[in-house]
Homo-oligomer: A and B are copies of this chain.
Amino acid sequence: MAKLQKSIDKRNALVKATIELVNNNGFHATPMSKIAKMANVSPATIYLYFENKQDLVNQTYIDVKAEYTKYAFKDFDTNLPVEKGFELIWKRIADFKLKECENAMFLAQCDNTPMIDELSRQQGIKHLQPLLDLWTRGRKEGIIKPMSDYLLYAYSINPLSFLMIAQKRGSFQLDVTHLEEAYQSAWSSIKVCK
């Protein structure tokens, strides 16, 4: 195998192990030794790929966040009408939270704890721009409520994180019917009422 590919594989294995272990135990209860073992690597090897534990988790966060937004905007097209565009993005995000559950759980934990450096956090937000642009257009067209992006995100996107966690804990099953209800609630909360 090519040297480069082997390096990439090893880095990916480390990132994947970090996600799984941090999901189950939290950042500080996840020792480097366990990450190494799960990635089939010596603890010392981690330090060839990452500066230290904080760097490993920061980079993992940025990686996953990039995957998330790439997934979210896959079929998005800026020419779509606002409502259609929003529905498309919303459903892709919902898909991500349900199918890429491990990744989504990791992000939820990062976003609600002091686990990630502020710099990496800001790096992670960057790629959300297409959604913010869509909302700007929607407000101009009088379709979206004239509210802050934070409020729009809080009401239309963030609830999916709560539902995902509830689902992971087993207390709740987010099936196709629920998903449609959830979408309607999301849209209701941000659209201008006629």
Binding site for B on A (CB under 8 A): 23-29, 108-109, 111-115, 145, 147-148, 150-151, 153-155, 158-160, 162-163, 165-166, 171-172, 178, 181-182, 185-186, 188-190, 193
Contact = CB atoms under 8 A, between A and B. Distances in A.
Secondary structure of the A contact surface, majority rule: helix
A158 B189 CA distance: 13
Specify which of A24, A154, A182 lies most central, judged by the most chain B CB atoms within 10 Å of its CB. A154
Contact of A158 (B114, B158, B186, B188): B158
Contacts of A155: 155, 159, 182, 185-186, 189
Given A26-B26, A148-B178, 8 more contacts: A25-B114, A27-B28, A147-B178, A147-B181, A151-B163, A155-B189, A188-B188, A188-B189
A26 B24 contact: no
